[in-house]
Structures are given as structure tokens and as C-alpha cells.
């Protein structure tokens, strides 16, 4: 068989000779009709041109470099496991769909006083925990080996993680995010790595208002001067506070717990990710508290899900928490009393709120069918996500503890994975928690547990160095929803209007009603629990 290139050349030579002969036969006619002197190229010419273009594309594919440059050497390239055809038939890169299209993130390189310096000054943060221990491992805290006390945690990927380290954890993930870009114009969203939680913790309860709000004012002023901020007035920016909204809405001229970061008019257009959001604001969204498991592979997650699915649970219900001072007419006080006199309840008292050994708490949560979740320091508790990690069905007493908070991460059908007992039934009518739980059919309990176990990947934060992971964790879910929110705001701006979320404004807590405003104001089962 003749080589294709040699055969093609001979065909072209033959065609050229035919053209010469044809020119001789028609030269007389050409003189009479000059327009015939301009002849169209033959089909073989086009074939040759396609041949050249094809090989040019092949060589371009093999020798071209990626158009999108890494934002820094610290950003790792994505590890993608996929089956590919032979190299000769591989699709040229210019014809492939960009996996980051519409997902690029631009991350500010903030002055260190807004993040790194706060970590180095961890000893300035007062409290009963060792914050310098908590900031280790990019906010994961000390590694827990051997599964912790009683082997109640995974053999690998377990950490003693503090609930207020989410700002550091997000930053660590973002530094290795596969869709970072150095071009803000190409970004879908802009991330501001300000450790607002650490800054707030250094001044909690301070009467020096100027010092309390100084760094927050500085970061707002710094952002306002940036062209990236001015492009959309901050509507495409987001921050991760690492604490609840309540710690950032103190009036600038009032003494209170926290600071005034979220009250400054210049920053109101940005999106805030908090561990507890206000149901009456539209710019803050709650994301899960970090728990103690930060896996590095799909196999670690699946292995843990299999384990908690097969666990023996000798107790009907349990509570990992301690008593609080003050009135005994609270849900927590009733839980302590009812659980203490029941043989079907497991109780773990702790010396101080929220300060218990992770291994002991997880061991209790893994031994019960249901795990009760009264209010913590706010409406929410980190224990809610420890409970889901343990495969235990959570029991809530107020809708703001979960249902009106984690709207991106938890199912809107709260009955599919949890039990709701109105706090008034327990405190005012002496309802028995145990009786309510005992009436749930075993088949329904099994369905709820399956739903809880399926939620595990989406409420934990994987290790930032993990590669080849396919599951979406809490970080992925939150970032996708922020990108979606900004895209809607961007489209609205292009149409000359302001986008309003179904969760924006006074009625923001009615997130699960229709987008139609009239229906949003219709009666809702949680109306009696919301102070208007």
C-alpha cells in the first residue's frame, strides 16, 4: 500500500498536468471570455488543505501548554481519574469543555494582618481552650491516632477539631482548589480569606470599641479600594466568618459580644458563610460546623459509612452535653432529668459546655438510635454534625437549630432524617421525649438512619491535600451554591435590576416555600417559633 502522503502528491501532480492540458484547449476561449481565466481550486486542493490542518491540530495538542495559569506554586493541579482513548485519537484540548468554566475563583492575597498574623497571635485569644493547638494543621487541630478513645473515630483522617476554625479550613482548601484563577475578570466569584472569627475572638466583650472593630474596618476599607470589588459593588465576593452571625452584628457604638463587621454598609452586598445564620438576614448562610473526620479518599468515607451502618445501638436515645446554669424550665434541663432516670438513655455529662473528649462523645453518639440536640451557645450545636457523622438520628426542639439554617446541606424534608419535638411540649407540657421516640416504627427508624448516613459526605470537610476524590463535601456544596447565587445576581445586574433571593429580607427564614412572593407570605408550620 502506498504511503498516503506520497499518493496524495502524485494525485496533485496529475491534476496539475491535466490543468495544463485543459489550459491549452481553452486558451482561445479565455481570450474571448476573460472571466474564465480565474479558475476555482480543485477538490484535491481542499483535501490537501484539510490534511495539513489536521496534522497542525495534532502537533498543537501535543506541544501546547495550558491557557489557564496557576495562581501560585502552592495550588496543586487537579487529579482526575478518567478513561481516555489512544493518544492519536485524543480530542485536542481546544475542543474539550473546560471543567472549570463558570467555576473559577479569584482569591485575594490579603495583607498578613488579616489572616496569617492572627494565627501567629493565637495566644491573645482568651478562653478555656488552647487556641494555638486548635489552629494546627490548617485549622483541623491535633491529629487523633488509633481511632481515639474507645476506637470511636476513623483510624485515619481524625482530628481534634475546634468548632470555630472554619475560616482556616476554608482557606486551606481554597489554596489547593483546582479552579483558582489569577484573572479576576474570569472568576465566577471572589473569595476574601479574612479570618474574621479569630479577630472577633480576640475582642469578645471588649469595651474598647475602636480596638474591637479596627481590623474589620480596615478590611472593609481595603476591599472598597479594589477594582475587583467596585466591579459589582462586592456582590460577587464572599467571606467565611468561622463563627455565628450574631458575633458580627453588634452596633458600632454599642458594647456587646463580637464586633460590627456585618453592619458596615460598604460590605452588605457580600455573601457571608457562618456556622449559624440569622433567619432575618439575606446575606448570611449557615454551613456545617467542622466535625472530627477529614478524609483523604472516597474509600475512607465509604468505609466509615459501612461501619456506622453496622453498629449495635443498645440505647434508644442519648445526649452528649452538660447542664447549664439558670432556670430548670429549659429543654436542656428536661433532657438531663428525663435521661438520668431512664435505662434507655445514654448521658454524657461534661465539665464545661462543649468541652469533652471527642472519642468519648462519639462513642456515646454511636451507641444510640436518636441523639437529642437542644440549643447550644446559640440556636445550633456542633454536636449536630458529630451526630450525623455517628449515624445517629438527630432530634431537634426548635426549627432554627437546623431546618432554617443549613438550607444548602440538609434535606428540606426534615422528617426524612430527623425528629422534631416542639420545645414547648417538653418544657410546658412535660412531654416524655422517650415516649415520642418509642412510637416511631422500626421501619421508619431504619429509613431515617439510611438518610442520615447518606448525608455524611456533604456535612464533613475533607483534607485539602486529598486527590482523586469524587464525593462533594461541605466545602464543595457551599462553593457551588455561592457561585450559583452570584451568577443570578450577575444576570440581574445585566438586565438593570437587583436580584433578590427567596431567602433575602424580613421573611428569609421561609426558604422552602415557593419563589412566588405571595406564596412566601402564606402560613407556615414554623410561624409560631419565629419572633417577628
Provide the residue-wise pLDDT of the chain in tens; the chain has 532 residues. Answer: 444 444 445 544 554 454 444 444 444 444 444 444 445 556 666 666 777 666 666 555 444 433 343 333 333 333 222 323 333 344 455 556 899 999 999 999 999 999 999 999 998 886 656 899 999 999 999 999 999 888 899 999 999 999 999 999 999 999 999 999 999 999 999 999 999 999 999 988 888 999 999 999 999 999 999 999 999 999 999 999 999 999 999 999 888 888 999 999 999 999 999 999 987 778 899 999 999 999 999 999 999 999 999 999 999 999 998 887 666 789 999 999 999 999 999 998 654 444 567 888 999 999 999 999 998 888 999 999 999 999 999 999 999 899 989 989 999 899 999 999 999 999 988 899 999 999 999 999 999 999 999 999 999 999 999 989 999 999 999 999 999 999 999 999 999 888 876 554 445 554 443 344 444 445 567 777 765 4
**Under 8 Å CB-to-CB from 322, ≥6 apart: which residues?**
349, 350, 351, 352, 353, 356
Kindly list the distances between the CA atom of residue 169 and the CA atoms of 133, 137, 408, 413, 469, in Å, as whole numbers in the listed order.
Answer: 14, 9, 18, 29, 17
pLDDT at 393: 98
pLDDT at 323: 80
The structure's pTM equals: 0.79
Burial of 455 by CB count in 10 Å (0-12 exposed, 13-18 middle, 19+ buried)? buried
Question: Smallest Cα–Cα separation from 197: which of 238, 153, 167, 237?
Answer: 167
**DSSP letter, residue 233:** T
pLDDT at 206: 85
* Length of the chain counted residue by residue: 532
Sorted by where each begins, the domain ranges of the chain are 105-290+474-501, 307-458
What is the C-alpha separation between 386 and 363, in angstroms, rounded?
11
pLDDT at 124: 86
Question: Smallest Cα–Cα separation from 317: which of 418, 207, 186, 172?
Answer: 418
**Under 8 Å CB-to-CB from 293, ≥6 apart: which residues?**
153, 154, 157, 158, 159, 304, 389, 460
Q: For the domain with range 307-458, which CATH number is right: 3.40.50.2000, 3.50.50.60, 3.30.300.30, 3.90.1150.10? A: 3.40.50.2000
pLDDT at 65: 39
CB of 281 closer than 8 Å to CB of 272: no
**Under 8 Å CB-to-CB from 4, ≥6 apart: which residues?**
none
Amino acid at each position: 500500500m502506498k504511503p498516503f502522503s506520497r499518493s496524495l502528491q502524485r494525485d496533485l501532480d496529475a491534476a496539475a498536468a491535466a490543468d495544463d492540458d485543459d489550459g491549452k484547449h481553452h486558451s482561445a476561449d479565455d481570450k474571448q471570455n476573460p472571466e474564465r481565466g480565474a479558475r476555482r481550486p480543485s477538490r484535491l486542493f481542499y483535501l490537501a488543505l484539510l490534511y495539513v490542518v489536521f496534522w497542525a491540530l495534532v502537533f498543537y495538542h501535543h506541544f501546547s501548554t495550558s491557557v489557564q495559569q496557576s495562581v501560585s506554586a502552592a495550588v496543586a493541579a487537579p487529579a482526575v481519574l478518567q478513561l481516555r482513548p489512544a493518544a492519536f485519537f485524543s480530542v485536542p484540548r481546544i475542543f474539550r469543555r473546560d471543567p472549570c468554566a463558570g467555576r473559577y475563583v479569584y482569591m485575594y492575597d490579603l495583607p498578613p494582618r488579616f489572616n496569617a498574623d492572627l494565627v501567629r497571635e493565637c495566644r491573645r485569644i482568651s478562653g478555656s481552650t488552647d487556641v494555638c493547638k486548635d489552629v494546627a494543621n490548617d485549622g483541623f487541630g491535633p491529629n487523633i491516632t488509633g481511632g481515639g478513645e474507645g476506637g470511636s473515630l476513623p483510624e485515619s483522617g481524625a482530628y481534634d477539631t475546634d468548632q470555630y476554625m472554619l475560616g482556616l479550613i476554608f482557606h486551606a482548601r481554597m489554596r489547593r482548589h483546582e479552579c483558582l484563577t489569577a484573572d479576576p475578570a474570569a472568576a465566577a466569584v471572589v473569595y476574601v480569606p479574612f479570618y474574621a472569627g479569630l479577630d472577633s475572638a480576640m475582642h469578645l466583650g471588649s469595651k474598647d470599641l475602636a480596638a474591637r472593630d479596627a481590623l474589620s474596618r480596615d478590611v472593609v476599607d481595603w476591599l472598597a479600594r479594589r477594582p475587583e470589588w467596585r466591579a459589582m459593588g462586592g456582590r460577587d465576593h464572599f467571606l467565611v466568618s468561622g463563627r455565628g452571625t450574631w458575633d458580627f452584628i453588634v452596633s458600632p457604638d454599642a458594647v456587646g459580644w463580637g464586633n460590627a463587621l456585618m453592619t458596615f454598609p460598604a460590605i452588605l452586598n457580600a455573601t457571608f458563610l457562618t456556622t449559624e445564620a440569622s433567619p432575618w438576614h439575606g446575606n448570611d448562610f449557615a454551613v456545617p460546623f467542622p466535625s472530627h473526620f477529614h478524609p483523604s479518599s472516597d474509600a475512607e468515607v465509604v468505609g466509615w459509612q459501612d461501619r456506622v451502618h453496622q453498629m449495635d445501638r443498645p440505647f434508644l436515645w442519648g445526649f452528649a452535653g452538660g447542664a447549664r446554669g439558670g432556670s430548670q424550665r429549659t429543654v436542656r434541663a428536661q433532657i438531663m432529668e428525663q435521661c438520668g432516670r431512664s435505662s434507655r438513655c445514654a448521658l454524657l455529662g461534661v465539665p464545661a459546655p462543649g468541652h469533652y473528649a471527642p472519642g468519648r462523645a462519639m462513642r456515646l453518639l454511636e451507641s444510640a438510635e436518636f441523639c437529642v440536640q437542644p440549643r447550644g451557645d446559640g440556636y445550633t450545636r456542633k454536636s449536630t454534625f458529630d451526630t450525623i457523622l455517628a449515624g445517629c438520628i438527630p432530634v431537634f426542639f426548635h426549627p432554627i437549630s437546623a431546618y432554617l439554617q443549613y438550607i444548602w446541606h440538609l434535606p428540606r424534608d426534615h422528617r426524612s432524617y430527623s425528629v422534631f419535638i416542639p420545645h414547648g411540649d417538653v418544657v410546658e407540657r412535660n412531654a416524655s421525649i422517650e415516649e415520642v421516640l418509642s412510637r416511631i416504627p422500626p421501619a421508619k427508624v431504619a429509613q431515617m438512619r439510611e438518610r442520615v448516613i447518606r448525608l455524611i459526605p456533604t456535612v464533613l470537610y475533607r483534607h485539602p491535600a486529598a486527590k482523586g476524590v469524587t464525593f462533594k463535601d461541605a466545602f464543595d456544596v457551599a462553593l457551588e451554591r455561592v457561585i450559583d447565587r452570584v451568577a443570578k445576581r450577575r444576570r440581574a445586574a445585566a438586565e438593570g435590576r437587583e436580584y433578590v433571593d427567596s431567602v433575602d429580607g424580613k421573611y428569609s427564614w421561609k426558604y422552602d416555600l415557593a419563589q412566588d412572593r405571595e406564596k412566601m407570605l402564606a402560613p407556615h408550620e414554623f410561624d409560631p417559633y419565629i419572633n417577628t
